[in-house]
Amino acid sequence: MEHPCPLYTCKLSLLTEALSGWECQLNTSSHEMAQWVKLVDKSKIRDTVRRLVELLVAGDYDSIEEATRGRRLTAEQLRQAVEEYDRELQMPPEAEFHNLDVNEIEGAIPRAAWVLVDLWTVEEGRSDLTLEIRLTETGGELYDIEIDNLHVL
């Protein structure tokens, strides 16, 4: 009997059939598994960045400060940077979250990456305002976030 799991070919073990157990054998190369892990990482990066941008667009600087534990930039510093830019932030098109500038930090333990996020405004579309963040793996649903900068490039 075949199990429908996409990464494994599973056969019902005759020895454990009475217990409804499954004997699974990995049916993928290490390269395929690495590609799968990269897809999971990209999805998690997208989700983390999207959530952060949603908060920024909503002007919820206190929630951002809470999410970043106040490291590097405070709620007030973020508010000031957005107000000085003097345009209304808006969510970028969804496709933008699939084309993020992500650079893994080699040797970082736990794993981490630098991400540059182009922000969008009602007046300009893609703006000159850029968010620089560091994402660190924590094992949770989203990455740990540090905002390094919010500035005009």
Give the model confidence (pLDDT) of 77-123 as tens digits: 999 999 999 999 999 999 999 999 999 998 999 989 999 999 999 99
Kindly give, in sequence order, each residue whose CB lies less than 8 Å from that of residue 6, ignoring residues fewer than 6 positions away: none
CB 11 within 8 A of CB 23: yes
The percentage of residues in the chain with a pLDDT greater than 70, rounded to a whole number, is 74
- Is the residue at 20 inside a domain? no
- Is the residue at 15 inside a domain? no
Considering the chain, what is the average pLDDT of its residues? Answer: 81
- Is the residue at 5 inside a domain? no
Range of the domain at 92: 38-152
- Is the residue at 77 inside a domain? yes
Spatial CA neighbour of 66 closest among 55, 53, 58: 55
pLDDT per residue as tens digits for the range 134-146: 999 998 999 999 9
How many structural domains compose the chain? 1
Residue type for position 107: G
Give pTM, 2 decimals: 0.74
- Is the residue at 147 inside a domain? yes
Measured between alpha carbons, how far is 107 from 110 in angstroms, rounded to an integer? 9
- Is the residue at 6 inside a domain? no
Kindly give, in sequence order, each residue whose CB lies less than 8 Å from that of residue 125, ignoring residues fewer than 6 positions away: none
Q: What is the pLDDT of residue 81?
A: 95
Q: What is the pLDDT of residue 30?
A: 54
- Is the residue at 32 inside a domain? no
